[in-house]
């Protein structure tokens, strides 16, 4: 959620920045500032009425002590009027706060100055690429045929048990999946991230804190009886560990990693994008989350980008990095880099990671603060990234490493799989 102080002091910059998302926010921001002014004026009146009421109450006490009961009783009528007025102003204040918050939560984050204007993926900017595009043998096939041939994953069994988008991993497919999870977690730990195992279900407050609610409510699985949501990513429970906390300055940055299954309805997805592992309703992902001092967040973002790139290099996967345009970024992000790996059999790029800086957008919702050297509290910055999302990584590994003799396992994974080939 954008800070009111930012909108007051940087109105034109906010309007200009949100235009990069193809959003005309001028009227909404004007309405926010008007409501904020009304709220502050109302608060002044309320404080004045409460002060008068308190002063009169003290005076009544003094009159009773002085034996002036008649005068004291006359003043009691005045305090009753003030109490009615304060109640009325208090109700108005709550309504103003509610209306103000409803408008504030409707606005996405303002993009960083480096973000270009745009409305879809074609407007994203490629900032780098690493690795050679592999050339496959004649007769190479996409991963959904490989998984069937070598009995690694059954999409049909997933449909039988649950429905489309819920695959069943088996045999060497299950072991390879587990190997990737362990490899990513251990590499993250080497980079200084502390591992967590969070709940896989969250309450509405947690979904609101990281920005999934109300923006992505229709994309989340909701258990209405318990009012709990299946997590779309470990980012949500991990970041909410610090909700309503005042953190010690010397403990920043806080670096967390977690493996979780992730659940997304993916409403509106169809066609080639949903073949095989390309798009699932349940998938595994290892996440990294940083809670940092505001002055350090863009340095940390660069470090996260380098770390994710290093994981893909160790797996031998060619990849490119895109800086997303305003219209293709997530609701909460100020700057996002996407990593895409080359899928040799499909001959297309597949997104496997998004690394984002949210600045104070999430921490303003969650009230994640640190106490500065000035002894005052300030909002932290939060960042997160996939390190990595498994389905498309696995798809690219299977496709790019297929040979006429079978599928060669990347060397870094052999200690985790205990096998070198899938045949």
- In terms of Cα–Cα distance, which of 251, 234, 243 is closest to 188? 234
Tell me the C-alpha distance between 278 and 155, whole Å: 12
Q: Known binder of ligand: residue 297? A: no
Q: Residue 406 CA to chain centroid, in angstroms?
A: 39
- In terms of Cα–Cα distance, which of 101, 118, 141, 183 is closest to 275? 141
Q: Known binder of ligand: residue 264? A: yes
Q: Known binder of ligand: residue 239? A: no
Q: Residue 32 CA to chain centroid, in angstroms?
A: 24
Q: Known binder of ligand: residue 354? A: yes
Straight-line distance from the first to the last Cα atom of the chain, in angstroms, rounded to the nearest whole number: 51
Which SS3 state, helix, strand or coil, does residue 5 take? helix
Tell me the C-alpha distance between 258 and 231, whole Å: 13
List, as one string, the DSSP characters of 48-61.
HHHHHHHHHHHHHH
Q: Known binder of ligand: residue 348? A: no
Q: Are 285 and 390 in contact (CB under 8 A)?
A: yes
Q: Known binder of ligand: residue 353? A: yes
Q: Residue 167 CA to chain centroid, in angstroms?
A: 25
Q: Known binder of ligand: residue 287? A: yes
**Other CB atoms within 10 A of residue 8 CB:** 14
Strand bridging mode 168-169 / 153-154: antiparallel
Three-state secondary structure string covering 322-352: EECCHHHCCCCCCEEEEEEEEECCCCEEEEE
Tell me the C-alpha distance between 194 and 157, whole Å: 36
Q: Known binder of ligand: residue 233? A: yes
- In terms of Cα–Cα distance, which of 41, 40, 119, 50 is closest to 82? 50
Tell me the C-alpha distance between 248 and 125, whole Å: 37
Please state the residue numbers annotated as binding site for L-serine. 233, 264, 287, 384
Binding residues: 233, 264-266, 287, 351-354, 384
Give the residue ranges of the annotated binding site for ATP.
264-266, 351-354
């Amino acid at each position: 959620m954008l800070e009111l102080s930012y909108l007051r002091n940087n109105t034109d910059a906010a309007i200009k920045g949100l235009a990069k998302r193809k959003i005309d926010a001028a009227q909404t921001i004007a309405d926010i500032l008007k409501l904020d002014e009304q709220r502050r004026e109302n608060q002044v009146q309320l404080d004045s009425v409460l002060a008068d009421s308190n002063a009169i109450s003290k005076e009544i006490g003094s009159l009773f002590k002085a034996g002036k009961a008649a005068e004291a009783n006359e003043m009691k009528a005045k305090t009753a009027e003030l109490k009615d007025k304060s109640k009325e102003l208090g109700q108005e204040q709550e309504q103003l706060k509610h209306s103000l918050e409803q408008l504030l939560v409707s606005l996405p984050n303002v993009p960083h100055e480096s973000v270009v204007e745009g409305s879809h993926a074609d407007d994203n900017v490629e900032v780098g690429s690493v690795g050679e595009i592999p050339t496959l043998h004649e007769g190479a096939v996409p991963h959904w045929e490989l998984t069937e041939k070598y009995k690694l994953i059954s999409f049909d069994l997933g449909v039988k048990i649950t429905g489309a988008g819920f695959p069943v991993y088996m045999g060497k497919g299950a072991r390879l999946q587990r190997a990737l999870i362990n490899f990513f977690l251990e590499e993250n730990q080497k980079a200084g991230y502390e591992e967590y195992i969070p709940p896989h279900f969250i309450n509405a407050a947690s979904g609101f804190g990281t920005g999934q609610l109300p923006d992505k409510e229709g994309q989340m699985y909701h258990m209405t009886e318990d009012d709990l949501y299946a997590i779309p990513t470990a980012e949500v429970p991990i970041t909410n560990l610090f909700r309503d906390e005042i953190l010690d300055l010397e403990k920043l940055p806080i670096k967390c990693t977690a493996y979780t299954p992730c659940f997304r309805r993916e409403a509106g997805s169809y066609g080639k994008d949903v073949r095989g592992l390309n798009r699932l309703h349940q998938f595994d992902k290892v996440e990294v989350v940083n809670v940092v001092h505001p002055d350090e967040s863009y340095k940390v973002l660069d470090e996260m980008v380098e770390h994710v790139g290093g994981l893909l290099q160790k797996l031998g996967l060619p990849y490119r990095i895109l800086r997303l345009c305003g219209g293709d970024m997530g609701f909460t992000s100020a700057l996002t880099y996407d990593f895409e790996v080359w899928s040799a059999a499909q001959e297309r790029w597949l997104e496997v990671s998004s690394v984002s800086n949210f600045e104070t957008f999430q921490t303003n919702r969650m009230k994640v603060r640190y106490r500065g050297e000035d002894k005052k509290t300030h909002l932290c910055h939060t960042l997160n990234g996939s390190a990595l999302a498994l389905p498309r990584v696995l798809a690219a590994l299977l496709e790019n490493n297929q040979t006429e003799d079978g599928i060669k396992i990347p060397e870094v994974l052999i200690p985790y799989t205990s096998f070198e080939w899938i045949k």
